[in-house]
Amino acid sequence: MKHTLMPFLICPECRQTLMLSTFKEQNHKSCEVIEGLLTCQSCTAAYPIIEGIPLFNSNSFCLHAEFVRKYADKIQQSAQLIDKATIFSKIHGQTQERFGHEWMNYPGPMAEDRKIFLEETQIPQSDWAGKTVLDAGCGMGRYTRIAHDLGAHVIAMDLSHALIRLQEAAFNSDRMHLIQGNLLSIPLKEESLDTAYSIGVIHHTPSAKEAARQLAKTVKPGGHLSFWVYGTAGSFKHFQTNPLRKDRTGLKKIILLAWFIVGIRQFISDFLRVVTIRISHKCLYLLCYPLALLGKIPFIKYLTFSVHPLWRVRLQENFDWLSPPYQSHHTKEEIIQWIQEEGFDLLKILPHGFVPKPGVLGKKMSIRPSDIKK
Ligand SMILES: [Zn+2]
């Protein structure tokens, strides 16, 4: 963790200032705090820094017993801390473990990443340099690297330990910061960022709307918020006005059939997930191997959850669909309302293919609509 991250950090519990105690530092491109403690000046909550990454999840101490033993004289253990860790693990533990497994096994950066990143954030290539941005739910940092290479100062945040795959890149740059934390209580100051983006993540939290609200808070007036979520068939009235990618406009001719198939597909997926979220993630991972192989067979492949040309990606994408305990589906109308309630003007809606993928790019107004009403 670089010292330049400190002005952005706050306690996720009470939103007050944190104090840094450094136990071990190393010089890389910048001076990095490898081990340390962030302590809240108000509520006395404490967050460890381990392997150069500040960890804001309430179960961090429980998952790092060796760190606790090593610095026992500096860490105040209490029954309250253990209670908080238990509650956190109950709500987020499975998501943390399963996505950690997925992103640790996901193939490294791929040639297609930049194109996908620019399309899905809907922010032009020229608008990243010099901006301070949050990659919310970065996984192993597939898109963090792109934002960084386009010249942004990136804060990459994820619930899982897969962030560790970005450690070397972060050590080699003074523009990349890593934090482990939860999108429902983001440990960043309000209105401190130029841009916050989240690519296909917030529907895996217990409340996608609340995660969007938390993301929106981090953005400065005049700054941008971009995210997309899993879509749903919704009402036909809304479905038929979904924006389609240029290469998919032919779907307009069979839009009623498309609406029906999307609805059936979601029904089957919900049915399967009743089982798949309850079996161990290692077992499920094995079951995804035959699905990944079927993903290469013409026509049959559409019965699986990935048709990516690389089998290792198909394996992860099938697991990605079937394993997360939380998976909500939304319409574009819902997410447009979410950002407007947080004082954002809608700039763009993400066009998509057969399966709806509602995504928005918004710009924060100087005054929120709720403030005008007052
Ligand atoms: Zn606090």
Give the ranges where 122-190 is alpha helix by DSSP (H).
144-149, 167-171
Q: How far is C-alpha 20 from the geometric centre of its chain's CA atoms? A: 26
Is residue 71 a contact partner of residue 47, using CB atoms and an 8 Å limit?
no
Report the candidate in 127, 276, 138 with the shortest Cα–Cα distance to residue 200.
138
In this predicted structure, what is the pLDDT of residue 18? Answer: 96
Distance CA(111)–CA(156), nearest Å, equals 20
In this predicted structure, what is the pLDDT of residue 94? Answer: 85
CA of 55 to the centre of ligand 1 (A): 14
CA of 365 to the centre of ligand 1 (A): 29
CA of 198 to the centre of ligand 1 (A): 25
State the residue for tokens 């909500």: 328
CA of 19 to the centre of ligand 1 (A): 11
CA of 44 to the centre of ligand 1 (A): 6
Q: Residues 6 or more apart from 133 whose CB is under 8 A from it?
A: 147, 152, 153, 154, 155, 193, 194, 195, 196, 197
* pTM, rounded to two decimals: 0.91
- 59-to-86, 242, 256, 291 alpha-carbon distances in Å: 7, 41, 47, 34
Q: In what order do the strands lie in the sheet with 359-364?
A: 176-180, 153-158, 132-136, 193-199, 219-228, 359-364, 344-349
Please tell me what DSSP assigns to residue 175: S
CA of 185 to the centre of ligand 1 (A): 12
Phi, psi of 366 (to 5 degrees): -70, -30
Is residue 40 a contact partner of residue 20, using CB atoms and an 8 Å limit?
no
CA of 344 to the centre of ligand 1 (A): 28
CA of 48 to the centre of ligand 1 (A): 14
CA of 17 to the centre of ligand 1 (A): 7
CA of 262 to the centre of ligand 1 (A): 44
Is residue 179 a contact partner of residue 161, using CB atoms and an 8 Å limit?
no
Is residue 327 a contact partner of residue 220, using CB atoms and an 8 Å limit?
no
Which amino acid, residue 184?
A: L
Phi, psi of 28 (to 5 degrees): -120, -130
CA of 56 to the centre of ligand 1 (A): 11
In this predicted structure, what is the pLDDT of residue 374? Answer: 55
Is residue 187 a contact partner of residue 331, using CB atoms and an 8 Å limit?
no
Distance CA(48)–CA(35), nearest Å, equals 7
- Could you give the 3-state DSSP secondary structure of residue 2? strand
DSSP codes of every residue in 272-323: HHHHHTTS-HHHHHHHHHHHHHHTTSTTGGGGSS---SSHHHHHHHHHHHHS
Which amino acid, residue 109?
A: P
Q: Residues 6 or more apart from 41 whose CB is under 8 A from it?
A: 16, 17, 18, 19
Structure tokens at 173: 């740059």
* pLDDT tens series, the chain, 374 aa: 999 999 999 999 999 999 999 999 999 888 999 999 999 989 988 999 999 999 999 999 888 989 999 998 888 767 777 788 888 888 888 888 887 888 888 787 888 999 999 999 999 999 999 999 999 999 999 999 999 999 999 999 999 999 999 999 999 999 999 999 999 999 999 999 999 999 999 999 999 999 999 999 999 999 999 999 999 988 999 999 999 998 888 888 888 988 988 888 888 889 999 999 999 988 999 999 999 999 888 877 777 888 889 988 899 889 888 988 999 999 999 999 999 999 999 999 999 888 889 999 999 998 766 666 55
In this predicted structure, what is the pLDDT of residue 160? Answer: 93
